[in-house]
Structure 1
Amino acid sequence: MAEIKAPVFPESVADGTIVEWHVTEGQQVNRDDLLAEIETDKVVLEVVAPDDGVVTKIVKQVDDTVESADLIAEFEAGASGSTDDAPAVDPDQPAAPVQAKQAADGGEPTQGASAAEADHKDQSPAVRKAAKESGVDPKNVEGTGRGGRVTKTDMASPTLKADSSIKSDSGRPVAESVGERTEKRVPMTRLRKTVANRLLSASQDTAMLTTFNEVNMKPLMDMRAKYKEQFEKRHGVRLGFMSLFVKAATEALKRFPAVNASLDGDDIVYHGFYDIGVAVSSDRGLVVPVLRDTDRMSMADVESKIRELGGKAQDGKLGLDEMTGGTFTISNGGVFGSLMSTPILNPPQTAILGMHAINDRPMAVNGRVEILPMMYLALSYDHRMIDGKEAVQFLVTIKELVEDPAMLLLDL
């Protein structure tokens, strides 16, 4: 008999919560099949089968809190389980529970299942996952599948049954229907709560100030239009704007070490490396994967790594080592249409750069009015560590490098 344990968490992570089991007791699995998902304050970790065998006992249930290396299940390698009631797990798809005995949204219950069992158990893994994330019990949702069964689409935009006394598993009302007016109560995930607490702490515990500037994006856009096809053909990745902003920020950090530093109690820690975090919005909340040693990366390296980390963020596959240790952060609200904002610090970092939407605006150039594609830049910084003069000069350096990309190549 072998033990299935929670992953060993780093020192910065105290514990996690089991958010989903993809198998049931007695189910036969193959080596590396996904068994469970554990959500921590920073990332969702996967627990996989160590070998072919059977999950004999589930020790920790969904919503249970687990600490590093805690026992969560028992496993017997080489054993055979009941394949009639527990189909093998497809590593690319969540396994259906033993009780459900169905393979797709809206599927029919198996022969011999009672009506009560079908109502309670006849849910696909996708529906159960959506229910877990939203806090809405599928039994309270009007189903559009065969036989009135609830589908994943129903859970994405749930229409609650008319009974206004519907309660969540915790006993609290999750929604109330009054004509066309509805309310829904959704519990925050651990990740969302952690992000909320960190942002609140940053605004309360730092002397945060924001300075603004604007940058003419025409030179960069012209360069991109001229070389994007050659760039993609040679490097296998598209040429975006973020890579040049990362390289420009790296050069500016070299010139202004205080912006690349962090505060540790009463000590100032000056970092001799450049690890830049790029804020990414995912279904689970805001995450900040980190590009390591950006001073040693080419623009192609930056574009490739951003694409890789962005994909992992959307799939919930980021590792803890990919989200810790950044010295500076860039947030691009412009992809959502933001014209101007004041980004909030990511402690213990002392500065964050905010990029925004590119809009054509009339600008005065050599005594004449020209229409140029302009972007507002914002630098939020901790005034305890960075003086206003340094912050402004840092932002102006980025502006100059973006407006004249050749300066980066010529090291000017």
Structure 2
Amino acid sequence: MAEIKVPVFSESVSEGTLLTWHKKPGEAVKRGEVLAEIETDKVVLEVTALQDGVLQSIAKQEGDTVLSEEVLGVVGEGTGAAPTAAAAATTAPAGTPATDLTAGPVPTEQSAGGTATHPDDLTRAPATERREDLSPAVRKIITEKGLNPGEVPATGPRGNITKADAMGATAPAAAAQATPAASSIQPAATVPAGARPEQRVPMTRIRARIAERLKEVQNTAALLTTFNEVNMQPSMDLRKKYQDQFVKKHGVKLGFMSLFVRAATEALKAFPVVNASVDGKEVIYHGYYDVGIAVASDRGLVVPILRDTDGMGLADIEKAIAAYAEKARSGKLTMEDMAGGTFSITNGGTFGSMMSTPIINAPQSAILGMHNIIERPIAQNGQVVIAPMMYIALSYDHRIIDGKEAVQFLVMVKNLLEDPARLLLDL
């Protein structure tokens, strides 16, 4: 017999929420297999089996609050077998509806659409494909609605199903049941004039924590933003000239983010207060450069950290960013991935943003905002030319960073990007 325990949380995390059970009592489990998922206010953690055997019992239900190292269930010896839908109704804990096992675990709470899922609907639902690229949030919605992932239109950047895709999709079985036979059609209920539907959905732990931290920053820091613009043509020419050789040698594409990380790191060296943080009435100057990269995920904005960027090359940065992006999409970022950080960069241009005033990621004192690249006329050597321009923004804590330092920092980033050879030659 082996107890299934909640992973040890970091010091800044006190509790979590049990999102999903991937196994039911009586089912066989293998060592290393994911049994459950727990959401904290930072990441989604996977709980894996420590031995082969059978899931004997569970002590916590989906939606329950759990503490660090709390017992979730027990795995015992045996071979076990996948129970049928009928058997699942008897082995599942009280309050858990029976379901077709091919559709995965089914929470007892209401679905994202606001309507509780009926057990009979689930047992009649068609078999559901298993897809490993589904995030925990998307998988939960698909399970609750009885959807087949293969039939859900995907609009994600890599052909993946987003949360919005899952929430907007309708199960074929549910659609068929929604259309009664002609002999049983009843008059439609009258909707009061002017009535508009509303949906009340509780925040996830991660979203609630994001909201709390951002509001705390606004209430504490003296936020100010300075802007500049960058002619991206030199950086674009560099990418175009060396892209094929870069990919052939390093196995990853050369993007703009690595250039921005390198430029920001050099500027942080020149203006160390931008890399500092406030602790009460003291200023902490960090002798290292850990740059956070804001990454969008189905659960909200997350900021994994690139460690010691002063010692990283462009290929190292691109590989690390790609790895973090994949972990964010699959919900596998760890608390260690996002701990610390002395400075952050966010790229709203990915979504078409022309200009914004990003909010710093406390306890950091500054954040660099990238935006969309737009071709527009500029004056160059006494002539009007069309150039690919990007607005960049630096939001900073005016309590320790003066306007002069902030402006000079941003100008240095601009100059390095407009002459990227200086990054490669360390000038």
Instruction: Quickly name the TM-score band, shorter chain normalised.
Output: 0.7 to 0.9
Quickly say closer, same or farther: Cα 1:30–1:180, change in 2 above 3 A: farther
Say whether the 8 Å CA contact 1:17–1:40 is kept in structure 2.
yes
Aligned equivalents of 2:319, 2:3: Cα separation in 1:
38
Give the aligned residue type for 2:43: V
Q: Which residue of 2 aligns with 1:110?
A: none
Say whether the 8 Å CA contact 1:20–1:62 is kept in structure 2.
yes
Quickly say closer, same or farther: Cα 1:155–1:291, change in 2 above 3 A: closer
Are residue 372 (structure 1) and residue 387 (structure 2) matched? yes
Aligned equivalents of 1:274, 1:40: Cα separation in 2:
27
Q: Aligned with 1:103: secondary structure?
A: helix
Say whether the 8 Å CA contact 1:177–1:183 is kept in structure 2.
no
Q: Deviations over 1:67-93 (max 9, x none)?
A: 1111111111x323244439xxxxxxx
Give the aligned residue type for 2:50: P
2:121 maps to which of 109, 119, 122: 119
Quickly say closer, same or farther: Cα 1:277–1:375, change in 2 above 3 A: same
CA RMSD of aligned residues (A): 3.1
Q: Which residue of 2 aligns with 1:94?
A: none
Say whether the 8 Å CA contact 2:97–2:119 is kept in structure 1.
no
Q: Deviations over 1:257-300 (max 9, x none)?
A: 10001111222111111000000011111000110110010000
What does 1:67-86 align with in structure 2 at a 5 Å threshold? 67-76=67-76, 78-85=77-84
TM-score, normalized by length of structure 2?
0.79
1:230 maps to which of 238, 241, 245: 245
Q: Which residue of 2 aligns with 1:157?
A: 168
Aligned equivalents of 1:73, 1:401: Cα separation in 2:
56
Deviation at 1:136, TM superposition (A): 11
Q: Percent identity?
A: 56
Q: Which residue of 1 aligns with 2:30?
A: 30
Q: Which residue of 2 aligns with 1:100?
A: 99
Quickly say closer, same or farther: Cα 1:56–1:122, change in 2 above 3 A: farther
Are residue 283 (structure 1) and residue 285 (structure 2) matched? no
Give the aligned residue type for 2:373: I
Are residue 264 (structure 1) and residue 279 (structure 2) matched? yes
Give the aligned residue type for 1:103: T
Say whether the 8 Å CA contact 1:130–1:155 is kept in structure 2.
no
**Ranges in structure 2 where 5+ consecutive residues have no aligned partner:** 86-95, 105-117, 152-162, 179-190
What does 1:7-406 align with in structure 2 at a 5 Å threshold? 7-76=7-76, 78-85=77-84, 99-103=98-102, 117-119=119-121, 121=123, 138=145, 155-157=166-168, 182-406=197-421
Give the aligned residue type for 1:253: L
Q: Deviations over 1:199-232 (max 9, x none)?
A: 1111121100000000110100011111100110
Aligned equivalents of 1:67, 1:356: Cα separation in 2:
40
Aligned equivalents of 1:158, 1:98: Cα separation in 2:
22
Aligned equivalents of 2:353, 2:280: Cα separation in 1:
34
Aligned equivalents of 1:37, 1:406: Cα separation in 2:
46
Deviation at 1:156, TM superposition (A): 2.6
Q: Aligned with 2:227: secondary structure?
A: strand
**Ranges in structure 1 where 5+ consecutive residues have no aligned partner:** 87-96, 106-115, 146-151, 164-175
Aligned equivalents of 1:131, 1:280: Cα separation in 2:
17
Q: Aligned with 1:37: secondary structure?
A: strand
Q: Which residue of 2 aligns with 1:173?
A: none
Aligned equivalents of 2:34, 2:399: Cα separation in 1:
47
Give the aligned residue type for 1:323: M
Say whether the 8 Å CA contact 2:103–2:143 is kept in structure 1.
no
Q: Which residue of 2 aligns with 1:113?
A: none
Q: Deviations over 1:81-130 (max 9, x none)?
A: 244439xxxxxxxxxx994244259xxxxxxxxxx853365565989x76
Q: Aligned with 1:376: secondary structure?
A: strand
Q: Aligned with 2:405: secondary structure?
A: helix
Say whether the 8 Å CA contact 2:207–2:300 is kept in structure 1.
yes
Aligned equivalents of 1:125, 1:63: Cα separation in 2:
24
Give the aligned residue type for 1:7: P
Give the aligned residue type for 2:368: L
Deviation at 1:180, TM superposition (A): 10
Say whether the 8 Å CA contact 2:53–2:79 is kept in structure 1.
yes
Deviation at 1:197, TM superposition (A): 1.1
Quickly say closer, same or farther: Cα 1:19–1:367, change in 2 above 3 A: same
Aligned equivalents of 1:302, 1:178: Cα separation in 2:
57
Q: Which residue of 1 aligns with 2:112?
A: none
Say whether the 8 Å CA contact 2:5–2:69 is kept in structure 1.
yes
Deviation at 1:137, TM superposition (A): 6.4
